[in-house]
Structures are given as C-alpha cells and as structure tokens.
C-alpha cells in the first residue's frame, strides 16, 4: 500500500507541474487563434477549457492535449466572414456530431490511410495563408481576406507600413515577439522551463504598457457575453449546401489533424498507445460542446501535446488540470488580455504558421519520392489559390491518380528471331492507364504469327482484356495464360487464343481453338 501511495504522489506531482507548463503554452495560442479567426478572444479560451475538461476526461489518447488550433484558423475566418459569427456554433456542432458518428462506426483508424504528402501539403498551405494574413495584423492593418488577396496586397501593406510610425511600432513589437520565440529554445539553464511564447508576449505586453505605445490591443468583451449558443434559426441554415460542405470540411480536417497528432505523440512516450476510434469520439464530444457554446472548433494540438509529454506528464490528469487553469484565468483575470498587443499575438501565429511548413523535409522528399513532393506542393498551392476544402480534395485526387499510375506498371518484352512466331510477354499490372502503350507495341509488330504470353500479369482489367481480345481477333494471335479457360482470359482451365475466344462465343458447340499450347 505505501508503494501505491508513493507512486500516486509522484504521478500527481508530475501531472500538476506538466499542467502548468501546458497552460502557459496554451494561453497565448488560445487567444491568438481566436483573434486571427476574427472572433472574440474569450472564445479561444472557452475551446481550450472544453479541450481540457471534456475531451481531456474521455478515453483515447492519454497525453494528447486539445484546444483551438492554428491549422483551422483560415477555415474559421472564412466561415465567419461568409456566414457570420452566429453560424459558427452550428458549424462546429455539426462537425462534432459527424466525428461522434465516425468514431462510433470505428472509422477512426481509416484516417491513417490519408497520404502523408496531402497532410503535409495541407499544413503547409494553412501555414502560408496564416502567415500572409498575420503579416497585416503585424502592422495593425486589416487583411483583405483570402490567400491570393492577402498575397496580392502585400506591396501596398509594405508601402503603408513604412509611411506610418504607429505601424512601424506594431511591426517592431510583432517581429520581436516572433524572433524571441524562435531563439528561446537556445536559452540555457532553467529559464527554458517557461514557454517562449508566454515570455515573448509577456515582454511585448509590458513594453507596450510601460511606454503606452499607440498600437492595437486585444478587445475583451467578457466570458459570458462572448458565449453565443446557436438557435433554431441558425440550425435551419444547415440546409445551405455551402454551409453543409463547411461542416464536413471542419469535421474531416479536424479529425485528420487530431489523429495524425496522436500518431506523433505516441512516438514521444512509451505509455499506452492511442485508441483512434475512442480519440475521434472524444474530439467529437468536445466539438459538440464547443458548438453548443458557440465557440471555436478544437483539434488535438501537437505543440501543447509535446509540451505535456516533455514536461513529464504521467496521466490524463495533466490535460484536465490545464483546462482548470484556463477556466480560472478566464473567470477571474480576463481583463489582463486587454493589455496584450495584437501585433504580439500575430508574431506568435506567424511562428506557428512557419512551423507548419515542412521546409527541411521538402528537399529529401524531392530526392527520394518526387511524386510525393509534387503532391505536397500542389496541395499547398491549391489551398492558397482556392480554399481549404477544395485544396485538400485536389491533393487527395492527385494522390489517388499518382498511386493508380504507380500501381499500373507493366513490362513488355518482345522476342523476334526473324523466323517463326513473334513472342511477346507482359508482366505487371495491365490497366487502362497503360493500354495505349500496350496497343502501340502490339500494333507495331511484324505481320507474322504472334504468341502473346500474359501469364506474368498480376492484374488485367476489363479494358485491357477487351482490347487484347479484339487485337487477337484481328491478328489471329495466340494468347497464353496457364490456368485460363479457352476464350476467357484469367478463367480456369487450359490456355487458349483470344481469336478463338471470339469464335467460341459465336459457335454453339463451343469448339476449342486450335494451335499450340503453352
């Protein structure tokens, strides 16, 4: 019994310490994601609280921490701009219900079948759009909205910034914040225990207040005032095809990001592995509650999760307690947010957006798997030029096409001694994608008897089978495949000719074709 008590005491101490670290990491990110999404800052805190107190209590992944994520910022901003803030609760609620259904149907593990290049391209595209939008907040300017519009407006932003003293002050605060976050991991000693984002935002806030800098700060409306539960009129808007598509996009992207994060977190510790179906249902439950509160959507966040593991967390208590600390902050000291400069939060999110772009992985990926690198770049570019949902669909379609092309390799060997029959052998997968090449090779053969051996073909689709039978009828060629019934490619029985197949189909007696057997 003393051993159990001692173990529990050690776990409790480790979890409390880890929860404080995660709270300090999550606080600036919750506020920054909310501000960047175009919603009240308190909604980011509410989502963080739900991520700790609801999702944190449920089974799935014991050390993964959930909350508002930078990866959904672009999608949320677009949805709020198009449908309004009251519709956000319905969208998040619908996404949560979809996640619950997918988890109940045990489809969580299937999200691991998504191409990694598509996921990396999705995150890179999100990072690029996030950075482009936050460059405006860095100078206290309003972004035009949309990836291409934000990028096209950057020259005007530069001109407006260099001619405005207030904009230059905001830029200095934001750039200084991002720079301090980047170099903070190199700081030696115990100071690194404090998260770099919190230190940077704290210093920026102190300097802004001390010198009373004329730059924009976070607007605070109050926790209860920020909560806007969806009404029946908002729920009726789900009949809108565009809004319904947004719900599906929220559900799929949030699920994929959460489950890929779970996979990454599992590599960081040696404890119990994630149950993907239960984790998906936990995320769905959290998003359902967030939707009922009219708050931001949640995902599992790799930054907070890795901080939780590295801080020595032992059980799920650490992520639950982090939600408790967020709740206490939001309940008792929300006015502290009104001193935080928005440029500092823009610096935090620019750093987070840069971390989403796999800069170091693109070079090796191009050298070793060029097709995957193309998928990554195209997906990212599609998200920047269109939107999140369409960009991901384009990436998935390209991944499927690339896989189909790679799996349809077929080798054609021709043996012609100049006398006797021409022998042709096919090996691999003969599909419609390779049919033009196969027919070009066969039609270029000399006008002599041809023996076509397809015994090495692992897969022969209907298009190729029909084309080969038609070609054999014209050339009276002999197609051999061990175990093939006369006239039926790939069927049981003895080998036959495709030319005979056509005759056998027209002959009631079903006579076998003549010719040498393989």
Question: In terms of domains, do 44 and 126 share one?
Answer: yes
pLDDT bucket at 515, cuts 50 / 70 / 90: very low
Do 301 and 223 fall into the same domain? yes
Summarised one tens digit per residue, pLDDT across range 335-373 is: 888 888 989 888 888 888 888 788 888 888 888 888 889
The larger pLDDT score, comparing residue 404 to residue 57, is at 57
- How does the average pLDDT of the chain come out, rounded? 82
In the sheet with 410-415, reading across from the earlier edge strand, the strands are: 410-415, 422-430, 450-460, 478-480
Question: Which residues form the domain of 441?
Answer: 410-477
Q: Is residue 485 part of a domain?
A: no
* Dihedral sign, Cα of residue 55, residue 61, residue 65, residue 70: negative
pLDDT for 505 beyond 50: no
Would you say residue 144 has pLDDT above 70?
Answer: yes
Band (pLDDT 50/70/90 cuts) for residue 517 is: very low
User: Is residue 345 located within the same domain as residue 422?
Assistant: no
Q: What is the pLDDT of residue 206?
A: 92
pLDDT at 473: 82
8 Å CB contact between 75 and 250: yes
Res. 450: pLDDT tops 50: yes
Instruction: Give the mean model confidence (pLDDT) for residues 28-56.
Output: 90
Whether residues 98 and 193 share a domain: the answer is yes
Q: Distance (Å, rounded) from C-alpha 470 to C-alpha 449?
A: 16
Q: At 298, is the pLDDT very low, low, confident or very high (cuts 50, 70, 90)? A: very high
| In a domain? residue 241 | yes
Percentage of residues of the chain with pLDDT beyond 90: 21
Instruction: Take residue 391 and report the two structure tokens written for it.
Output: 């960009």
**Residue 112's pLDDT band (cuts 50, 70, 90):** low
Q: Decide if 403 is inside a domain.
A: no
pLDDT band at 495 (very low <50, low <70, confident <90, very high): very low
CB 279 within 8 A of CB 1: no
pLDDT greater than 80 at residue 478: no
Please tell me the least confidently modeled range out of 163-172, 309-318, 492-501: 492-501
- Does 322 reside within a domain? yes
The H helix count followed by the E strand count for the chain is 22, 6
Give the range among 89-98, 389-398, 421-430, 478-487 with minimum mean pLDDT. Answer: 478-487
Q: What's the rounded mean pLDDT across residues 212-232?
A: 83
327 belongs to a structural domain = yes
Judge whether residue 195 has pLDDT over 50. Answer: yes
Burial code (b: 16+ CB inside 10 Å, e: under 16) for 237-271 equals bbeeeebeebbebbbbbbbbbbbbbbeebbeebee
CB 209 within 8 A of CB 339: yes
Q: 279 with 344, same domain?
A: yes
User: Average of pLDDT values for 25-43?
Assistant: 87
Report the 3 state secondary structure along 45-107. Answer: HHHHHHHHHCHHHCCCCCCCCEECCHHHHHHHHHHHHHHCCHHHHHHHHHHHHHHHHHHHCCC
Indicate whether 101 and 232 sit together in one domain.
Answer: yes
Q: Is 462 exposed, middle or buried (0-12, 13-18, 19+ CB in 10 A)?
A: exposed
Q: How many domains does one find in the chain? A: 2
Cα–Cα distance list, 93 to 31, 231, 367 (Å): 21, 12, 43
Would 351 be classed as within a structural domain? yes
Whether residue 428 sits in one domain with residue 347: no
- Can you list the positions of beta strands (E) in 263-391? 299-300
Same domain, 438 and 336: no
| Percent of the chain residues past pLDDT 70, beyond the cut | 89
Identify the weakest region by mean pLDDT among 116-120, 206-210, 254-258, 291-295. 116-120
- pLDDT bin (cut points 50, 70, 90) of residue 490 is very low
Q: Which of 28-37, 174-183, 250-259, 496-505 has the highest mean pLDDT?
A: 174-183
* Judgement on whether residues 287 and 337 belong to the same structural domain of the protein: yes
Cα distances from 272 to residues 110, 314, 452, in angstroms, run: 20, 11, 55
Q: State both tokens at 509.
A: 């007696």
365 shares a domain with 419: no
CATH code at position 461: 3.30.750.24
Q: What is the dihedral of CA 197, 203, 205, 206, to 10 degrees?
A: 160
Query: What local confidence, expressed as pLDDT, does residue 358 receive?
Result: 85
The verdict on 309 and 414 lying in the same domain is no
Establish if 297 belongs to a structural domain.
Answer: yes
469 inside domain: yes
247-260 residue pLDDT tens: 998 998 888 888 87
Q: Are residue 364 and residue 466 in the same domain, yes or no?
A: no
pLDDT value at residue 4:
56
pLDDT of residue 445: 86
């Amino acid at each position: 019994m003393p051993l159990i008590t001692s173990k529990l005491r050690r776990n409790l101490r480790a979890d409390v310490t880890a929860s404080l670290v995660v709270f300090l990491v999550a606080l600036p990110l919750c506020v920054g994601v909310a501000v960047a999404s175009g919603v009240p800052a308190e909604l980011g805190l509410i989502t963080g609280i739900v991520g700790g107190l609801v999702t944190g209590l449920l089974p799935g992944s014991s050390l993964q921490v959930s909350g508002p994520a930078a990866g959904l910022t672009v999608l949320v901003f677009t949805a709020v701009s198009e449908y309004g803030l009251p519709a956000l609760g319905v969208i998040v609620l619908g996404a949560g219900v979809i996640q619950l259904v997918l988890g109940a149907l045990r489809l969580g593990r299937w999200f691991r079948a998504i191409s990694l290049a598509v996921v990396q391209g999705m995150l890179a595209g999100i990072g690029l759009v996030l950075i482009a939008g936050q460059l405006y907040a860095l100078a206290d300017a309003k972004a035009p909205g949309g990836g291409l519009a934000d990028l096209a407006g950057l020259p005007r932003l530069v001109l407006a910034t260099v001619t405005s003293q207030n904009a230059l002050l905001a830029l200095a605060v934001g750039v200084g914040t991002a720079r301090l976050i980047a170099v903070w991991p190199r700081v030696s000693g115990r100071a690194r225990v404090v998260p770099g984002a919190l230190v940077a935002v704290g210093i920026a806030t102190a300097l802004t207040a001390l010198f009373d800098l004329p730059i924009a700060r976070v607007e605070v409306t109050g926790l209860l005032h920020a909560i806007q539960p969806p009404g029946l009129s908002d729920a009726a808007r789900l009949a809108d095809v565009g809004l319904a598509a947004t719900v599906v996009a929220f559900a799929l992207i949030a699920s994929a990001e959460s489950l890929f994060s779970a996979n990454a977190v599992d590599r960081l510790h040696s404890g119990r592995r994630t149950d993907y179906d239960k984790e998906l249902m936990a995320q769905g439950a959290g998003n359902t509650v967030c939707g009922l509160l009219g708050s931001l959507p949640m995902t599992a966040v790799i930054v907070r999760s890795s901080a939780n593991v590295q801080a020595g967390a032992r059980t799920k208590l650490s992520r639950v307690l982090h939600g408790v600390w967020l709740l206490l902050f939001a309940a008792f000291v929300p006015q502290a947010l009104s001193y935080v400069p928005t440029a500092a939060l823009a610096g935090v999110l620019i750093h987070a957006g840069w971390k989403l772009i796999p800069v170091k992985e693109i070079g090796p990926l191009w050298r070793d798997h060029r097709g995957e690198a193309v998928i990554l770049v195209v997906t990212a570019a599609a998200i920047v030029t269109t939107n999140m949902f369409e960009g991901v669909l384009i990436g998935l379609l390209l991944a499927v096409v690339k896989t189909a092309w790679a799996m349809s390799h077929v080798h054609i060997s021709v043996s012609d001694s100049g006398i006797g029959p021409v022998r042709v052998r096919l090996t691999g997968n003969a599909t419609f994608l390779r049919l033009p090449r196969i027919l070009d090779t066969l039609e270029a053969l000399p006008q002599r008897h041809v023996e076509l051996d397809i015994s090495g073909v692992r897969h022969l689709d209907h298009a190729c089978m029909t084309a080969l039978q038609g070609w054999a009828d014209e050339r009276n060629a002999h197609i051999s495949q061990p175990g093939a019934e006369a006239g039926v490619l790939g069927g049981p029985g003895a080998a036959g000719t495709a030319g005979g197949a056509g005759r056998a189909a027209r002959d009631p007696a079903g006579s076998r074709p003549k010719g040498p057997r393989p």
